[in-house]
Structure 1
Amino acid sequence: MAVRPSLAYFPSDNALLDSSGLPWGVAVTPFSSTDERGSSPVTGDEGDLIPRCTSCFAYFSTLCSLHRWSWTCPICSEDNDLSADAAARYARDGSHDPPELRSAFVDLLLPGEEGEAAAATTPVYVAAIDLSSSEEFLELVKSALLAALEALSPGSLFGILTFSSKIGLYDVQGPIPIVKNVFIPPDSDGTLHVDLKDVMPFCSFLAPVGTFKDRIAEALETVKPIASWERATTASQVQDHALHHTRGFGVAIDALVNYLSVENGTTFELGM
């Protein structure tokens, strides 16, 4: 993981942050192979031994304040007790410290339970496509998605969602690909008037790649940028907020995550 701040120095408190007027923020790349300094992660196989905060469940790390029999969580400031084994683990000298004390960037393995069978999981991929982009950019997006489609395993599930001033859900499992649209209200507060699960059944949205690869490709080829007349209509409806409502990114992603969370209470991993 790589963490890169927008500024070299951070405000010490909220009051200073608000009064500075500076664009303070942090860019996080969670799946980076190196950290922000280009260093590889420290590895280990004792992930099950790392203490977790009793309040926010954050893992112990080099950012925590470590005491003899306790540690303080840097995220929520909760004071957590250390077990005798954990206290002994962190009482070592610097040359034999465990991975989580040697670096803030660690990859640790979690052992499986005795007799635990490997759970069969089905990879799920969703392409969320922004139709407010230019035609040239959209062609690049479609080319990238078609190339990625060829690399997916036949057992994967794939769904297509488009967004602009409306959200489109694609069903590619019929004779021809069809799309059902949900319009984003101009005065939307971040929510839709109808849930996506009521627009299209979950099993219709996600199609097996092995069976419907050609139809998925056909559906991707039909994706076009938002029409000029639709831009004009949307602009006349929302006036100075036209760009926000034409793109609809936040509303679309929030609705998509909620949509994928309804299946047995499980949130699927997204590839966008």
Structure 2
Amino acid sequence: MQVHPLIAPVVDLVFPPRCPLCGDGLAAQTGLCSACWSELAIPGEPSCVSCRRPLDAAQSAGSICAPCMANPPRHAGIAAATLYNDASRKLVLALKHGHRIALAPMLARLMAAQLPEEIGPDWLAVPVPLHRWRLWGRGFNQSALLARELAGLRGVEVGIDALVRRKRTPMLGGLGRSARAKALSGAFATGKGWEARLKGAQVLLVDDVLTSGATTDACLSVLWRAGVRKVMITCFARVLDEALDHV
């Protein structure tokens, strides 16, 4: 939620701007202090032309990473605002579990900066859904908040309920690839009334954190069955520990 410029001075007087990571004073309620900005790992070039995984500087532009060569992805790329490290983890936890939803605009701006120019009004932003019990418990879907902000920044349509989560799934951390796939089997479906809109659509699949890719892959399966034309994934933080040395 953006503060109107006319009341921003009053808000700053009552709630002095603070860096959401370290608590240092800021000039405005819009971001991080310079020291904390420098702690974020922003992926750059060169990167894999298939999934945009950061590559070693010695590799040439247009290269494909080893994981994509072994298992070509079904999506058109992953636009990650940051690589998952301690700084991005704190921001995600503050948004998701600390209920600091005012962080969503800043996180979305970082995500939008990594999106290719082609993402625009003819695309549909679809958040990775939460199961209704988790949604009721948390009160919001952080991926939906990010999708709404991205819609305003890039002029895309939002399909908040274009995907629904039909069953609760266990925590996937520590599970092998086959176990994750089994846990997510049948977890997602197209939302009621979205079948016609999804057919032939270009979809921007929005998530807060991309870890193994099992959840987004399960969403991709549903989207492809619905007849979408193209899917790009965007997230705030992408877990690629081996790529942190390349940024």
TM-score, structure 1 normalization: 0.26
Where relative contact order (Cα < 8 A, 6+ residues apart) is larger, the structure is 2
